[in-house]
Amino acid sequence: MPKPAANESVESLLSEAQGPAFDPAKAHIGPAFKHERQLIRARFSADGKFVAAAGLDKLIHVWDLESGKKHTLPGHATWVSSLVFHPKGRQLFTADFHGTIHCWDFATPDSKPLFTITGADANITRALAVMLDGAHVLSGGDDCTVRVWSTKDGAKVKQWPGHKGCIFSIAVHPDGKSVASGDLFGTVKHWDFATDKCVRDLDAKELHTRKEDFIADVGGVRCIAFDAKGATMVIGGLSNAESNAFCPGTPLALLFDWGTGKKTQEFKLANKSDGPINAVRFLQNGMIAGFGETQNGAQTELAFWQPDKSEPLHSLKAQSAYDLDIHPDGLRLLAPLFIPMGSGGNGAREKQKANYIPNASVVQIFNLFADPKAKDPKNAKKKA
């Protein structure tokens, strides 16, 4: 992959959205927003006009896609673990490693939270999702309980205990009535929002490894997504972990028939990659996109799978990513990518003290259509 076009103008982004034809096989990198610290979550706003991203610097970074301008929200006391936009209004929900959830007016720079939920989890709140009607935000994390909060004031509405391991992911089914939550041990629970009952467990134990000599559990259902009609669900994570130290394994995404609860496909990455698939999304033609994570700052890939094939139809090489979102126009993906800053690897670095800085990230947009510049023969001539 060529170097990301960091902080490239995004003024054309929204106008381009009117024209190009969706074609994930011709996906290419688009605008990008570089940041000097590692970001691990990034999402488009529901109206597609903003991008929010957060991670290790505890702040919430918001970019206006029309102007390219960025503003920052004060953020959290610790790393941000999850963020999700309200489907209608100007609310942005962010969660952190201390079990706190903030609700922001994301368009107002430096604003204070509209409300804050403390103790949303006994430890880390790892996942957030908003119901389709926008009335409730759901959270899940280390204490194995899905909690339902009012988006008006953050009041707790109800909670669903039942997971045996920490919850890594939550997704709302397109029917607006069902919720799926995935945990460390590879169990996906199907909840009925109205009755608060766990309808069933879906088995994805491939995404958890605990060998005899391990001293920790590795893996988990790191992400969940439904197709537009809700007929299928895709989840991602890591299978066959070889140790609990490097945690190397086989990145794996699994497709489920939501009606029967049966696994129908396994998706693999095309290139060498040893970390989990952290994020998956359905595209408008039913294809699935997923992003990998790999060691040593090497490149992994953004893979595009057809539902009936295990190997990707198309891949874009890229640095590790920890989240993936799709623009409301269906023509662009968004991911926070790792950027190595030369301080990686094992130590004994005293001589490099002056240049020892944290790794960084770029919030990268991937266009799901042919690159107009690449097609333009005039541009081609100029490049030649």
Partner 1 sequence: MRRSSECGSAEHLISRRQALGTLAGAAVGGFGLSSLMQEAVAADMKQKGKQVLFIWLDGGMSQFESWDPKPDSEFGGPFRSIKTSVPGTHISELMPDTAKIMHHLAVVRSMSTKDPNHSTGVPRMQRGDPANRGVPYPYLGAAVTKLLGFPANGLPPYIWIKPGSAGFIYQEAGFLGSKYGALALGDGKPPIHIHRPESVTDETDAARHELRRLANARFRLDRRDSEVDAYEQSYEMAVQLMKRKELFDNTRLPAKDIERYGTHPLGRHLLQARVLLEAGVQFVKVTSYHWDTHGDNFNMSQQMVPQIDKPFAAIVNDLEDRGMLDNVVVVLMSEFGRTPTINSRIGRDHWPDAWSLALAGAGINRGALIGKTTKDGAWVDGEGYDVGDLFHTVFRALGINPNKAHYDNNGQPLPIVRDDCFAIDGALA
Q: Which is nearer to partner 1, 209 or 232 (CB)?
A: 209
Furthest-apart CA pair in the chain: how many Å?
64
Q: Which residues contact 196 (CB under 8 A, 6 or more apart)?
A: 158, 160
Listing DSSP states for 262-316 in one string gives EEEEEE--SS---S---EEEE-TTS-EEEE---GGG--EEEEEE-TT-SS-SEEE
Compare residues 161 and 344 and give the one whose CB is closer to partner 1: 344
Least distance to partner 1 from the beta carbon of 315, Å? 17
- If the CB atoms of residues 98 and 177 are measured against partner 1, the closer one turns out to be 98
Least Å from the CB of residue 337 to partner 1: 9
Report CA-CA distances (Å) from 58 to 72, 97, 141, 160, 161: 11, 10, 18, 28, 28
Smaller CB separation from partner 1, 232 or 361: 361
Nearer to partner 1, 231 or 245 (CB): 245
CB of 62 to partner 1, least distance (A): 21
Q: Which is nearer to partner 1, 17 or 32 (CB)?
A: 32
Q: First and final CA of the chain: distance in angstroms?
A: 19
In the complex, the smallest distance separating the C-beta of residue 84 from partner 1, rounded to whole angstroms, is 19
Q: Which amino acid is at 3?
A: K
- Residue 53 near residue 71 (C-beta atoms within 8 A): no
- Least distance (Å) between residue 220 CB and partner 1: 8
The torsion region of residue 107 among left (phi > 0), alpha (psi -120 to 50) and beta comes to alpha
Provide the minimum distance between the beta carbon of 210 and partner 1 in the complex, in angstroms, as a whole number.
10
Q: What is the DSSP letter of 118?
A: -
How near is the Cβ of 206 to partner 1 at its closest, in Å? 17
Contact (CB, 8 A) for 141 and 148: no
Side chain identity at residue 191, one-letter code: W
CB-count exposure of residue 209 (10 Å: 0-12, 13-18, 19+): buried
Contact status, residue 170 vs residue 189, Cβ threshold 8 Å: no
User: Rounded distance, CA 333 to CA 330, Å?
Assistant: 8
Contacts with partner 1, residue ranges (CB under 8 A): 37-38, 40, 56-57, 78-79, 81, 96-98, 123-124, 142, 213-218, 243-248, 274-275, 293-298, 319-320, 322, 338, 340-341, 343-350, 353, 356-359
Q: Rank residues 172 and 362 by Cβ distance to partner 1 and give the closer one.
A: 362
Question: Which of residues 34 and 263 has its CB atom nearest to partner 1 in the complex?
Answer: 34
Question: How are beta strands 325-326 and 136-141 bridged, if at all?
Answer: unpaired
Query: In the complex, what is the shortest distance from the CB of residue 246 to partner 1, in angstroms, rounded to a whole number?
Result: 5
Q: Which is nearer to partner 1, 23 or 142 (CB)?
A: 142
Residue 47 token pair: 């109206």
Instruction: Tell me the closest approach of the beta carbon of residue 207 to partner 1, in angstroms.
Output: 13
